[in-house]
Amino acid sequence: MKQRIAILGASGYTGAELLRFLLLHPHISIKSLTADSQAGKSMREVYPHLDFAGLPDLIPLSQLNYDEIDVAFCCLPHGTTQQVIAAIPKHVKVIDLSADFRLADTKTYKEWYGHEHSAPELQKEAVYGLTELHRDKIRTARLVANPGCYPTSAQLPLMPLLKNKLIETDNIIIDAKSGMTGAGRGAKQAMLFTEVNEGVDAYSIGAHRHAPEIEQGLTLAHGKPVIVNFTPHHMPMNRGILSTIYVKIAAGKTVADLSDCLSKTYAGEPFVKIAAKGVSPSTQMVRGTNFCLIGLWNDRLPGRAIIVSVIDNLVKGASGQAIQNMNLMCGFLETTALQHTAVFP
């Protein structure tokens, strides 16, 4: 029997991107789509490219009947999601694409989000959904906190290297470049085509909320607290994150050791790949796909390495990884509906 799916907050980009994949998924059916601000509208009105797909109209969250739902994807804004998920009956599997359950430590949550976490018990239950590195826990989870886009691109290369003591913890610098879908679909002057096109800038310098999420993963991998520099930049393009990561190699180790470690860690993984020598990962190589592609280089600075990691922020950085997690949680083949080749050019 097919799993019946609800998407809460289906009118944003991650909602639409979930549908792009789920419409090709053989083992699910799209049962309900909610969007309070757009309730009553058809998907045609919100996303004309989804006209002809036979999708249900958008309903207010209050009208969602959880008795008919097996799996809920939650694409609601940060902060309001906690209450919504707290009210979901326990028979429903939940994959939350907001940041609400990503930080295991509710004190850290309060520090970065400015208010008490309203569902600390749920926070304890939530499993962090970085699939390749938490697969077993995800398989049996009821509530998965889907990772942030930047943290996915940074943790996949860094966690195995820290776990295996191949890099030092000081001076990890993550210079990240993101396409504009990361900023969401809300109407803001700064996100107008004319304000973004032909420009590059850094933002939230020294203060982006994905920093503690990255540090949580690196600390877990390393065993002791890790602090990082994380500096995100806007790029004039729709999709893709490229993280250029500058690290200090552990004494006696080489870039080849780092490369070997990642190759072994991700051998057999369907979605995480180490780039061939001489290939510089570009966001184009993963556009529209659930891949993470990683390359490594010697730095000119002695004893240091440069790591480049690319993902599509809407796929491996959000909706694709969410479906990958759903596949695990529901016992489906992990790659189901996610085996697209990159859309290039």
Site for a copy of itself in 10-49 (CB under 8 A): 13, 16, 19-20, 23-24, 44, 47-49
Compare residues 93 and 253 and give the one whose CB is closer to a copy of itself: 253
In the complex with a copy of itself, which residue's Cβ is closer, 64 or 75?
75
Instruction: Say whether the peptide bond before residue 345 is cis (omega within 30 degrees of 0).
Output: yes
82, 155, 231, 313: which one binds a copy of itself (CB under 8 A): 231
- Beta-bridge partners for 28: 3
Q: Binding of a copy of itself at residue 256 (CB under 8 A)?
A: no
HEC string for 108-144? HHHHHHCCCCCCHHHHHHCEECCHHHCHHHHHCCCEE
CA 299/CA 112 separation, integer angstroms = 33
Q: Using the rule CB under 8 A, is 235 a contact of a copy of itself?
A: yes
Q: Would you call 75 a catalytic residue per the annotation?
A: no
Q: Which of 29, 37, 80, 171 binds a copy of itself (CB under 8 A)?
A: 171
Residues that contact a copy of itself, how many (by CB under 8 A): 89
Given a contact cutoff of 8 angstroms between Cβ atoms, the answer to whether 44 and 110 are in contact is no
What is the smallest separation between the CB atom of 293 and a copy of itself, expressed in angstroms?
Answer: 9
Three-state secondary structure call for residue 193: helix
Residue 107 CB, shortest distance to a copy of itself, in Å, is 17
275 interacts with a copy of itself by CB under 8 A: yes
Count other Cβ atoms within 10 Å, centred on residue 240.
28
Is residue 217 a contact point for a copy of itself (CB under 8 A)? no
Counting contacts by CB under 8 A, is residue 288 touching a copy of itself?
yes
Q: What letters, b where the CB count within 10 A reaches 16 and e where it falls short, cover 53-85?
A: eebebbbebeebeeeebbbbbbbbeeeebbebb
Least distance from a copy of itself to the Cβ atom of residue 97, Å: 17
For 176, residues 6+ apart whose C-beta sits below 8 A from its C-beta are 150, 153, 154, 230, 231, 232, 233, 241, 242, 243, 244
Q: Is 111 in the site for a copy of itself (CB under 8 A)?
A: no
Choose, by CB under 8 A, the member of 181, 259, 325, 327 that binds a copy of itself.
181
Catalytic residue chosen out of the listed positions 75, 149, 261, 292: 149
In the set 61, 202, 221, 330, which binds a copy of itself (CB under 8 A)?
Answer: 202
Q: How far is the CB of 155 from a copy of itself (least distance, A)?
A: 17
Q: Which of 236, 264, 333, 335 binds a copy of itself (CB under 8 A)?
A: 236
**CB of 268 or CB of 331, closer to a copy of itself:** 268
Residue 179 beta carbon to a copy of itself: minimum distance, rounded to whole angstroms: 8
CA nearest neighbour of 236 among 281, 177, 148: 177
264 binds a copy of itself (CB under 8 A): no
| Contact code string over 58-77 relative to a copy of itself, x by CB under 8 A | --------------------
Query: What DSSP assignment string belongs to 149-188?
Result: HHHHHHHHHHHHHHHTT-B-STT-EEEEEE-GGGG-SS--
Please check whether residue 249 is in contact with residue 307, taking contact to mean a CB–CB distance below 8 angstroms: no
Burial group, residue 199, by CB count within 10 angstroms (0-12, 13-18, 19+) = exposed
- Binding to a copy of itself (CB under 8 A) within 297-326 occurs at 297-302, 304, 306, 308
105 belongs to the binding site for a copy of itself (CB under 8 A): no
Piece of the chain touching a copy of itself by CB under 8 A; list 30-38, 113-121, 146-154, 231-239: 231-239
Stretch that binds a copy of itself, among 30-38, 98-106, 147-155, 224-232 (CB under 8 A): 224-232
Pairing of strands 58-59, 71-74: unpaired
For residue 227, with 0-12 CB atoms within 10 Å meaning exposed, 13-18 middle and 19 or more buried, which class applies? middle
Give the residue from 340, 288, 266, 328 showing the smallest Cα distance to 129.
Answer: 328
Residues known to be catalytic: 149
